[in-house]
Structure 1
Amino acid sequence: MLLDKDIREPLFEFLEERYGKVRILEEKTVGSSRADVVMVIPDKIVGIEIKSDADTYTRLERQVADYDLYFDQNIVVVGSTHASHVAEHVPDYWGIISVEEYDTGSKSDVGENADVNMGGKAIGGGTTDPSDKVTHKIDFYVVREMQTNPKADILRTIRILWRPELAHIQETYSLPMYKGKSKDFVRTLIVDRLPAEIVHHEISEILFERDYAAMIKQIQEFRKAQAAKRGKTVRKKKKRYRRKKRDA
């Protein structure tokens, strides 16, 4: 039985082989759900939900609704126990990938008729060597290709970007900076002023280049500057209040 932890790393290798230029992000909050995997490919953000053999469909309906709001396309990756009926639980524009595990044989299976192999006696092509373990391989099968998500909301998709990344788009396309405005205001500005294909492209390119350490530092500096501004405003108000009190 394959568990989530057994599937992830082989899945990432499969996605890189299949889609070429990709960046993998894990465990991202989308609405009231948490996306197992977010795959960044050129001009698209793909949500990937993993349902291992140990998982159930209990939360899938809610997850589908949340994924559909945030991602351009979606895929459900399922263990073999779900492969025959998962299509009943996701929209027809969701991609489906099935995960299969099989034995590749023992190390002694290099010579079926060998009398001695790996230091042990072969019996019917096998060996008594205790180190001769059966190995396993995981394969992925595309049951259904992913298609464009008709419910995707670009205002939701762009929420994956951080404030400095939004500012980068504003600067690149000479949009007003509005430094005192909220992130929601800035997101709406970008989506309203730029063609959708440009916004999609910028989101993907920024995520491809995202440097988490540098970005966290920028965010901390931004918050520190904002806190300093708020502190000055509070102090000024207090001084004005005290002066009025003395004049009275």
Structure 2
Amino acid sequence: MAKKLYDKDIREPLFDFLEEYYGKIRIIEEKQIGRSRADIMMVLPNGVAGIEIKSDADTYVRLKRQVRDYDRYFDCNYVVAGGSHGLHVSEHVPEWWGIITVEWVENGVDFYLLREAKANPKADLGQKLTLLWRPELANIQEINGLAKYKQKSKAFVMEKLLEKVPKAALNEQISQELFERDYTEIGNTIRKFKEGKL
């Protein structure tokens, strides 16, 4: 019987596989999206992909809700399935989801791209904008020569960006902000933003 694959066995080698396949990427782990937590948010130069890992120790119990949440936030999505799920995982995700299977081989784990992800027809650019912090939205406002809307809510600013910035440009700018995000500095950045120093 094949050895069970757990999440911890899959993650690091998966990052290498994704980098080799896509080139320039940034991996952000355990991102809250709606009522779910995305295992991986993969930032690409012109989009953001969601990746759900289903190891051999996982079940499909929460997958229906997860699919709904992933589809609201990301431009495309993948499920990475351990050997025990490989045969049936396609029955549990929409046809536009990509499928990567993973199994043990002699010198570690091996990944196989069973199905390439297609553009997510349910992607919501407004929802995707909520992934950004307020100072990141301010950077996009500035790049596009928009007013600062300093006293306005995040929702108001997002509405203005959706209204005034072409979709393709906005997708690239969201990715750029996520590529440059510095988790070690976020407390300072938000404080400075609130004090009007940015």
The normalised TM-score by structure 2 is: 0.95
Distance 2:25 2:122 in 1: 23
1:82 matched to 2:53? The reply is no
1:192 matched to 2:163? The reply is yes
Paired residues in the alignment total 193
CA drift of 1:222 comes to 3.4
* Residue in 1 that maps onto 2:59: 56
Look up the SS of the partner of 1:213 in the other structure. Answer: coil
Percentage of matched positions with identical amino acids: 56
Distance 1:171 1:222 in 2: 13
Q: Structure 2: 5+ residue runs without aligned partners?
A: none
CA RMSD of aligned residues (A): 1.1
Look up the SS of the partner of 1:37 in the other structure. Answer: strand
Distance 1:73 1:80 in 2: 23
1:5-16 to structure 2, matched below 5 A, reads: 5-16=8-19
Aligned partner of 1:18 among 16, 21, 36 = 21
1:71 matched to 2:42? The reply is no
CA drift of 1:80 comes to 0.5
Question: 1:69-124 CA deviation, whole Å, 9 max, x = no partner?
Answer: 00000000010000000000000000000001022xxxxxxxxxxxxxxxxxxxxx
* Residue in 2 that maps onto 1:166: 137
1:205 matched to 2:176? The reply is yes
1:164–1:215 contact (8 Å) kept in structure 2? no
CA drift of 1:210 comes to 1.5
CA drift of 1:42 comes to 1.2
Q: Structure 1: 5+ residue runs without aligned partners?
A: 104-135, 227-248
1:36–1:50 contact (8 Å) kept in structure 2? yes
Question: 1:23-62 CA deviation, whole Å, 9 max, x = no partner?
Answer: 0000001110000000001101000000000000000000
Distance 2:87 2:122 in 1: 26
CA drift of 1:147 comes to 0.3
Q: Which amino acid aligns with 1:23?
A: R
CA drift of 1:216 comes to 2.6
Aligned partner of 2:46 among 33, 43, 47 = 43
Q: Which amino acid aligns with 1:20?
A: G
Question: 1:102-158 CA deviation, whole Å, 9 max, x = no partner?
Answer: 22xxxxxxxxxxxxxxxxxxxxxxxxxxxxxxxx41000001000000000000011
* Residue in 2 that maps onto 1:120: none
1:219 matched to 2:190? The reply is yes
1:96–1:145 contact (8 Å) kept in structure 2? yes
Distance 2:83 2:70 in 1: 23
Distance 1:167 1:215 in 2: 14
1:81-230 to structure 2, matched below 5 A, reads: 81-103=84-106, 136-223=107-194, 225=195
The normalised TM-score by structure 1 is: 0.76
1:99–1:138 contact (8 Å) kept in structure 2? yes
Question: 1:170-194 CA deviation, whole Å, 9 max, x = no partner?
Answer: 1111111111111111111111111
1:27–1:37 contact (8 Å) kept in structure 2? yes
Q: Which amino acid aligns with 1:70?
A: Y
Distance 2:186 2:135 in 1: 8
1:28–1:38 contact (8 Å) kept in structure 2? yes
Distance 1:82 1:37 in 2: 19
Question: 1:197-218 CA deviation, whole Å, 9 max, x = no partner?
Answer: 0110001111111222233311
